[in-house]
Structure 1
Amino acid sequence: MSTSNTSLDIIARAVPSDGIAIPLIGRFWLFLISNILSLVCGFFLLFHLVFDATLRHGLHNHVIIAILCFCLFHELTVMPWEIHFFRVGVVPIQSPTICMIMKFIDTVVYTSMAKLVGWASVERHILIFHSKWIATKMQRILIHYIPLMLIIMYGILLYGITTPINDCGIPFNYNSMLCGYYSCVYNSAGYSLYEFMSGGVLSSICIGFGSAFLIIRIIIQKRRLQQQVHWRRYRKMTIQLLSVTSIFFIIYLPPVLLGISKKLGVPSSVGSDYSTYANFFSNYVILLFPFTCLGTLPQLRTRVKTILRFCYRQQQNRVVPITITVKPIQQSRV
């Protein structure tokens, strides 16, 4: 084994001093396998949502398609960057510009996903209980498409402006995840509070209360009308929302609640170990999202069987060359 490979193995098997008792090599395999599986699931789901006309035209699927695109873009850009770091202990491209781009993508995807899921939790109330609000094309543009586009553009424009602000002389650390970079705008207590409230707190309120009230409203209406038709009609939209919000309840909301408690006076030392691990596993909001949506895909079992049957037929229809041995004809002696 060469000296360079030996050095890489030593680095990968070391446990960094970041408070997480997982060596770099363990993190490497953990995120590599997770990222590959998530990519396969994400592309499979996005293919069916986009190329199936019924699913594509469903208004409740548009926010799912947008989040899937964010997830896949993150898994094709930032995740390979982080996986490489876990393997060798240094970022793959030691460039301030590239470091800021990776930080920009990571921040936009993570924060925009929370806002989009928060909006989906609110929009489900409109789609289920106030469908007359989106009866016309203009109403759908105003109530459905414009909010979706504004949420996407808000994150891109906000972090496109704030991420490059680095006038406080913060050095880039290429031996740290994403170069250890953060924008100097976070030195402002006012801006930090604004982003925490508009991003973490507001998204958490929309996700938590929006999902809870949706279930309560459905139960009340079902009992009041005593009809199964309404539940069967909107069951898929409700289950889809609850499946998506489940990972946010588990991974995203607890750190936000801990941050709120610290803003209210709880000592910063409380939950410090949890915060460290929560920040490390925050990428699993992105990695697990395609799997939470996969179970809500209509006729999933039929689609999988169709794909497997097609592959099997293709395998059977392959032309296999046959070797034919021709024996020479022996001439009889005269």
Structure 2
Amino acid sequence: MSTSNTSLTIISTGLPLDGIAIPLIGRFWLFLISNVLSLACGFFLFFHLVFDATLRHGLHNHVIIAVLGLCLFHELTVIPWEIHFLRVGVVPIKSPTICMIFKFIDTVVYTSMAKLVGWASVERHILIFHNKWIATKMQRILIHYIPLILIIMYGIILYGVTTPMNDCGRSFNYNSKLCAYYSCVYDSAGYSLYEFMSGGVLSSICIGFGSAFLVIRIVIQKRRLQQQVHWRRYRKMTIQLLSVTSIFFIIYLPPVLLAISQKLGVPSSVGSSYTTYASFFSNYVILLFPFTCLGTLPQLRTRVKTIFRFFHRQQQHRVVPLTVTVKPIRQSRV
């Protein structure tokens, strides 16, 4: 089917040929409302984490700030691109270079998020049980800051090199999300396996086992030492991690487990429809991330009340123009 015929089919039926029984207009409103709410929540959370000195200096908040920044960048670039496509059935700019750029951003943000959350699941063990490892400034640089920077730079460098590789002449479909483009490097089975293992599998192991073992270690430590003070001190870090990893357990991990089972011999037809819908809703890892962090913000209710009081006072102190009536002065007769 030609591109023009595909475009006419999408416009007339409202259903692209991707196997998802949700019309384009329904997807448009779903993503638009979700993106607006997520941006509002994300900016509110990012503002408090960055401009509050106590929260900004907390080591356990640095990964959250980094992931939140990636989410906001994705929601301001890639999501509007996809919303436009869902509205009209064609990408906003028909350019191979622009398609590659947005594909690069989408891949870097999604894969870096998983790696950062996986690292956070491991780092929580250091922050809670081995805090002597980060007692000095040099130790914090080596153990805390460098891994954080390397994870982000790894995604930028890797996909900055591989995304433009189109030596096989892969075509761009402007009637598909992100132009249906992916690099020709994925034609290599070796590279595809490497990225799947280093990205999906390793991140899933760190998120799953890291968060589960953290809860087990804390429960055992609490029962053995009966240290209520220490539990209250580390409870916020644990709840923050579990809140963040919850969306990865629901949205990110099941497709990875299904892909692992298929590589081990399960027929590819098994779970094919689930894979289609999982790919469509994968953006909700990004859209829901600010909400999972919002509940862990300390004194959230107080901060929200302060904002509402500020706007209420602004309305009360608003200067309202008054209409003054001046009566003419009657001159007396001389």
Report the TM range for the smaller structure's normalisation.
Answer: over 0.9
- 2:300 corresponds to: 300
Within-5 A mapping of 1:197-212: 197-212=197-212
2:97 counterpart of 1:104? no
Q: In 2, distance between residues paired with 1:331 and 1:190? A: 102
- Corresponding residue SS for 1:182: coil
Q: In 2, distance between residues paired with 1:136 and 1:285? A: 35
Change over 3 Å in CA distance of 1:168–1:324 after alignment to 2:
same
Q: Which amino acid aligns with 1:123?
A: E
Specify every segment of 5 or more residues in structure 1 that has no aligned partner in the other structure, as ranges: 1-6
Q: Which amino acid aligns with 2:311?
A: C
Change over 3 Å in CA distance of 1:282–1:133 after alignment to 2:
same
Q: Which amino acid aligns with 1:121?
A: S
- 2:3 corresponds to: none
- 1:317 corresponds to: 317
The Cα shift of 1:332 comes to 8.4
Once the two structures are superposed, residues 261-292 of structure 1 have per-residue CA deviations (whole angstroms, 9 ceiling, x without a partner) of: 00110000000000000000000000000000
Change over 3 Å in CA distance of 1:20–1:285 after alignment to 2:
same
Q: Which amino acid aligns with 2:21?
A: A
Once the two structures are superposed, residues 90-143 of structure 1 have per-residue CA deviations (whole angstroms, 9 ceiling, x without a partner) of: 000011000000000000000000000000000000000000000000000000
The Cα shift of 1:327 comes to 3.5
Calculate the aligned-residue CA RMSD, in Å.
1.7
The Cα shift of 1:330 comes to 5.8
Q: Which amino acid aligns with 1:265?
A: G
- 2:148 corresponds to: 148
- 1:18 corresponds to: 18
Q: In 2, distance between residues paired with 1:276 and 1:12? A: 22
Q: Which amino acid aligns with 1:303?
A: R
Once the two structures are superposed, residues 297-319 of structure 1 have per-residue CA deviations (whole angstroms, 9 ceiling, x without a partner) of: 01010001001101110110011
Within-5 A mapping of 1:32-43: 32-43=32-43
- 1:134 corresponds to: 134
Q: Which amino acid aligns with 1:305?
A: K
- 1:4 corresponds to: none
2:285 counterpart of 1:248? no
Q: Which amino acid aligns with 1:267?
A: P
Within-5 A mapping of 1:15-164: 15-164=15-164
1:12, 1:89 within 8 Å by CA — same for their partners in 2?
Answer: no
Within-5 A mapping of 1:208-223: 208-223=208-223
Once the two structures are superposed, residues 45-77 of structure 1 have per-residue CA deviations (whole angstroms, 9 ceiling, x without a partner) of: 110000000000000000000001100110011
Q: Which amino acid aligns with 1:292?
A: T
Q: In 2, distance between residues paired with 1:140 and 1:118? A: 19
The Cα shift of 1:11 comes to 1.9
Q: In 2, distance between residues paired with 1:164 and 1:330? A: 85
Q: Which amino acid aligns with 1:196?
A: F
Q: Which amino acid aligns with 2:29?
A: W
The Cα shift of 1:79 comes to 0.5
Q: Which amino acid aligns with 1:277?
A: Y
For normalisation by structure 1, the TM-score amounts to 0.95
The Cα shift of 1:16 comes to 1.2
Q: Which amino acid aligns with 1:57?
A: H
The Cα shift of 1:326 comes to 3.0
Q: In 2, distance between residues paired with 1:53 and 1:300? A: 16
Q: In 1, distance between residues paired with 2:249 and 2:215? A: 15
2:213 counterpart of 1:193? no
Q: In 1, distance between residues paired with 2:71 and 2:138? A: 30
For structure 1, which segment, 216-225 or 11-20, has the greater mean C-alpha deviation from structure 2 after superposition? 11-20
Give aligned-pair identity as a percent.
88
Q: In 2, distance between residues paired with 1:23 and 1:260? A: 31
Q: In 2, distance between residues paired with 1:13 and 1:46? A: 41
Specify every segment of 5 or more residues in structure 2 that has no aligned partner in the other structure, as ranges: 1-6
- 1:3 corresponds to: none
- 2:258 corresponds to: 258
The Cα shift of 1:219 comes to 0.3
Change over 3 Å in CA distance of 1:288–1:12 after alignment to 2:
farther
The Cα shift of 1:13 comes to 5.9
For structure 1, which segment, 320-329 or 60-69, has the greater mean C-alpha deviation from structure 2 after superposition? 320-329
How many residue pairs get aligned? The number is 328
Within-5 A mapping of 1:229-240: 229-240=229-240
